[in-house]
Amino acid sequence: MGRQPGGEQPGVSPSAAAPEPDGLPPWVEPQLATLTKDRFSDPAWIFERKLDGERCLAFRGQSRGVRLLTRNQHDITGTFSEIAAALDAQRADGFIVDGEIVAFADGQTRFEMLQHRLGVAHPEPALVDGFPVFYYIFDVLYADGRDMRPQPELARKRLLAETLSFAGPLRYTDYREGDGEAFYRSACRQGWEGLIAKRADAPYLAGRSRNWLKFKCLAGQEFVIGGYTDPRRSRQGFGALLLGYYDADGRLTYAGKVGTGFDDRTLHSLRATLGTLERDTPAFDRGNPPRAGVHWVEPRLVGQIAFAEWTDDNLLRQPRFQGLREDKDAADVVREIPQ
């Protein structure tokens, strides 16, 4: 069966658009971090908080104004209009910055809280006020129309602090130099998701590399939704979601099911969406998903899942649903293995 293509988006893809008159590209492929089991301290590295939100590249040029794009090029400018307005009010122009849009609960970034805002193209003021979001910016790729990606990481961090003013929903992502191990222990004690370690002398490179590393305190990643089970007893909507990931050969591999982490609103709205994707046969190519009381769906939706660990049978232990991800295509979902 292999990988399934992501859904087509209306209009012209940003990558197909013409360059800005001031030289800004319409799209820049973001740099990605590699999961690792290593924990280290090194003066050649800086360490930042790992945030649990939606990755966002922000563009401000002379002709198109401010645009907010996810890592799979979905335009979310209208969804987070307060962030777009704060960027539009900046004195600087001709910039591209990289960061994470987050929402907080009890002092922690929670993807579950961000779910209330995702997918709402033009939110009402009550929704904006009820679920405030913040844009934590950690890198500058273009400044004053000039490509800053070849510059060292630490130089870009300092330039970022000089380029923008950080107020309202805009936040500068602080960092610590050198002492990664102590910072990691402190992060885990505080309930953070983890840290991102970055080589201080490295340029900004498209795609995944070992110049950025993930130190995770908690296990979690995205999974493709390949089916759901019928609800039992007083449960509404559905019982559990069947999860999978694509292996190196492009085969959708069953990873287990998740039945916790849903509120009533999510159970009903997600059940309605799943109903439009039903199919007669399983999309899973590998593994042994349950068969009784199961509805198969096209593998197009991506869920963010927290879990304790992988079992010896390569299934998720104690998984918990955190929300749907609109910034990642199902075809790109693989099992994260520390390197």
Q: What are the residue numbers of the active site?
A: 50
Q: Which residues of 187-211 are buried (b: 16+ CB within 10 A; e: fewer)?
A: bbeeebbbbbbbbbebebeeeeeeb
Looking only at the bridges linking them, the beta strands covering 220-229 and 241-246 are: antiparallel
Contacts of 114 (CB under 8 A, 6+ apart): 53, 54, 101, 102, 103, 131, 133, 323
Region for 266 from its dihedrals, namely left if φ exceeds 0, alpha if ψ lies in -120 to 50, beta otherwise: alpha
Burial of 166 (0-12, 13-18, 19+ CB in 10 A): middle
Q: Which two tokens stand for residue 100?
A: 């994470």
Compute φ and ψ for 15, nearest 5 degrees. Answer: -70, -15
Q: For the chain, what's the residue count?
A: 339
DSSP, collapsed to helix, strand or coil, labels residue 83 as: helix
